[in-house]
Amino acid sequence: MNLRMLLSNLNLLAAAPDGVAKLRELILTLAVQGKLVPQDPSDEPASALLKKIRAEKDRLIAEGKIKRDKPLAEIAVEEKPFALPTGWEWVPLQYIGYTQTGTTPDKKNPEFYGTYIPFIKPGDIYPGYVDYDNEALSERGLQDSGRAAPAGSILMVCIGTIGKTNIIERDCSFNQQINSITPLCCLPEFISLYLRCPEFQSQAWSRSASTTIAILNKGNWEQIPVALAPLAEQFRIVTRVEELMRLCDALEAKACLEATQHEQLVRTLLGTLTSSTTPEELANNWHRVATHFDLLLDRPEAVDALEQTILQLAVRGLLVPQDPQDEPASELLKKIRAEKDRLIAEGKIKRDKPLPPIAEDEEPPMLPQGWEVARFGDYFFELCTGPFGSVIHKEDYVEGGVPLINPSHMIGGRISHDPSVSVSPAMAGQLGAYRLTAGDIVLARRGEVGRYALVTDDEDGWLCGTGSFFVKLHEVCNREFLGLVFEDPDLRKHLLGESVGSTMTNLNQRILIETPIALPPLAEQSRIVARVASLRALCADLRQRLTTARTQQALLAEVLVQTVAA
């Protein structure tokens, strides 16, 4: 019944968030509980298998090949997490074979390392395989202080990333972070899948101790209960698990292919919108996108792509219609120039250097009516650089002083206050040249180029920090529109392409000042900002709906998993 329910709901499970991973866990859970294949009354029971294991272990002890193991207490009823099918037995892990803890030969002795036997460390153990080629011991290194396990043994990390496990297909040595068990008279693949099942992994973590790093000592590891199936059933279980895991591989590959194809579809269809050159062409292309709206926007990353498309359309004049009655942007630029000249004449700001004229290749293909292309430097009064790191020292910072605004505080176009990044009022007085005023815009000078935030009345008097610019604008300028300009993916690509820096991207003043931007009339800027805000609210609502749907899907899958495993 459990298996039929599992197979009939594969698509539901696979479609849920982390669905295939949960499906793999469920398969292992069913396998080790004896619910994956039917029992056969004619199978020799696990109790008889245990006697054979004991006899083989005694033989190896008598021959001096392994050490005598200490007897363990009987497994208590409360330590048995589930009921076993007929013919199965609960046994401590130690009873299934012989165990070892790895060692690391002296790294200072090069004679201990060579090519004789692979030397496995936690980083060499992966879910699907073991990497045997990273490091190896010499024959002397193994004989002197190494520890080896034969092919068919199972390695498990018991220090640090507890639980990483896999079967080895060749003789290997291993370090002290790893324990091994070499099964006797059992199918190693069955023991390996048991050590990977959620129940054993949970037991491993719960029995570990932790100070700065989690440690599961060998004694506690050996005592973890294992549900041992009859040997014939072990073969049937392993065969069935391998079949179902291959099915999981196929589901993962299908999901990956679907995600790739979906991304290509979104990129292609949204690309037709941004390639539109006229409102009429945009309308035709939008109709094509709207036809596939439900198919396109069925995941959060597609909504993110749509929002980026909205920004690109907004700053190109394709989001709202033009109004011939609007005062053109050229008049706005004249007002800014006149006010800048007045401030220069009064000695309030420095005279700016003439900027190069807009080149032909910097002009957009189709400039909407009333728009004007200008250098960014034509649009503001002053561009100021925040203090360099050497200006402010560690001891200058105080809790709850005058805040400093760094790029990390610029989130979603707004300033996020961090009380720990502030200086005393006395230090703030020395940094008066970096004082922010309501209406300024702060920009990231390094790191995420194009990141910005608007300075409001709440941040008036705060300070521009290191790694930032701040811009002072004419009072008539629409700062929210300028923020959209800096969010435009194309502009950010331009800034990144023109940025300098190796380990960290840095943007200098000249690059920023000479950046060309297309400016709409001031009235149209307001309409664009309102339209973008409205569409972003719809995008946020759609994301929330998708998140809710995915959460419900995950809950449904979880209930199904619990039902199947019960």
Give the pLDDT band of residue 6 (cuts 50, 70, 90). Answer: low
Tell me if the pTM is above 0.75.
Answer: no
Q: Do 472 and 564 belong to one domain? A: no
Instruction: Give per-residue pLDDT as tens, 313-329.
Output: 999 998 899 999 999 99
Secondary structure letter of residue 308 according to DSSP: H
Domain boundary among the residues 229, 264, 294 is at 229
358 contacts: CB under 8 Å, gap ≥ 6: 373, 374, 375, 516
Lowest mean pLDDT among 153-157, 367-371, 398-402, 482-486: 398-402
pLDDT at 453 over 60: yes
Residue with more model confidence, 239 or 557: 239
- What gap in Å lies between CA 330 and CA 342, rounded to an integer? 19
Alpha carbon 154 to its chain's center: 30
Domain tally, the chain: 3
Q: Do 98 and 212 belong to one domain? A: yes
Provide the β-strand partners of residue 214.
210
Nearest to 330 by CA among 381, 383, 277, 379: 379
Domain boundary among the residues 188, 210, 229 is at 229
Whether 303 and 539 have beta carbons less than 8 Å apart is answered as: yes
CATH of the domain at 67: 3.90.220.20
Strands of the sheet with 178-183, listed across from one edge: 97-101, 178-183, 154-157, 165-167
Give the pLDDT band of residue 352 (cuts 50, 70, 90). Answer: confident
Q: Do 266 and 386 belong to one domain? A: no
Alpha carbon 546 to its chain's center: 19
Whether 312 maps to a domain, the answer reads: yes
Whether 265 maps to a domain, the answer reads: yes
Q: Do 367 and 422 belong to one domain? A: yes
- What gap in Å lies between CA 469 and CA 477, rounded to an integer? 18
pLDDT at 9 over 70: no
Whether 334 maps to a domain, the answer reads: yes
Whether 535 maps to a domain, the answer reads: yes
Q: Record the tokens describing residue 359, joined without a space.
A: 């080149």
Instruction: Give per-residue pLDDT as tens, 399-445.
Output: 889 999 999 999 999 999 888 889 888 888 888 899 999 999 999 98
Give the model's pLDDT for residue 8: 63
Number of neighbouring beta carbons within 10 Å of residue 290: 11
Whether 378 maps to a domain, the answer reads: yes
Q: Do 35 and 150 belong to one domain? A: no
Q: How many CA atoms lie within 13 A of 214 on its CB side?
A: 14
Give the model's pLDDT for residue 360: 86
Q: Do 103 and 204 belong to one domain? A: yes
Secondary structure letter of residue 379 according to DSSP: T
How open is the CA angle 504-308-472, to the nearest 5 degrees? 60
Give the model's pLDDT for residue 1: 44
Burial of 356 (0-12, 13-18, 19+ CB in 10 A): exposed
Alpha carbon 328 to its chain's center: 46
Using alpha carbons, list the distances in angstroms from residue 263 to 259, 271, 295, 439, 535: 6, 12, 11, 39, 21
pLDDT at 209 over 50: yes
Q: Do 386 and 497 belong to one domain? A: yes
pLDDT at 14 over 80: no
Whether 234 maps to a domain, the answer reads: no
How open is the CA angle 310-316-320, to the nearest 5 degrees? 65
Q: Using CA atoms in the order 553, 555, 560, 562, what is the torsion angle rounded to 10 degrees?
A: 160
Whether 205 maps to a domain, the answer reads: yes
Q: Do 270 and 171 belong to one domain? A: no
Highest mean pLDDT among 116-130, 481-495, 543-557: 116-130
Q: Which domain holds residue 25?
A: 1-42+239-324+521-566
Q: Do 376 and 407 belong to one domain? A: yes
Q: Is 417 helix (H, G, I), strand (E, B) or coil?
A: coil
Q: Do 93 and 162 belong to one domain? A: yes
pLDDT at 48 over 60: yes
Q: Do 216 and 266 belong to one domain? A: no
- What gap in Å lies between CA 30 and CA 46, rounded to an integer? 18
Max Cα separation, the chain?
104
Domain boundary among the residues 229, 257, 292 is at 229
Q: Do 412 and 549 belong to one domain? A: no
Phi, psi of 290 (to 5 degrees): -60, -30
Give the model's pLDDT for residue 253: 83
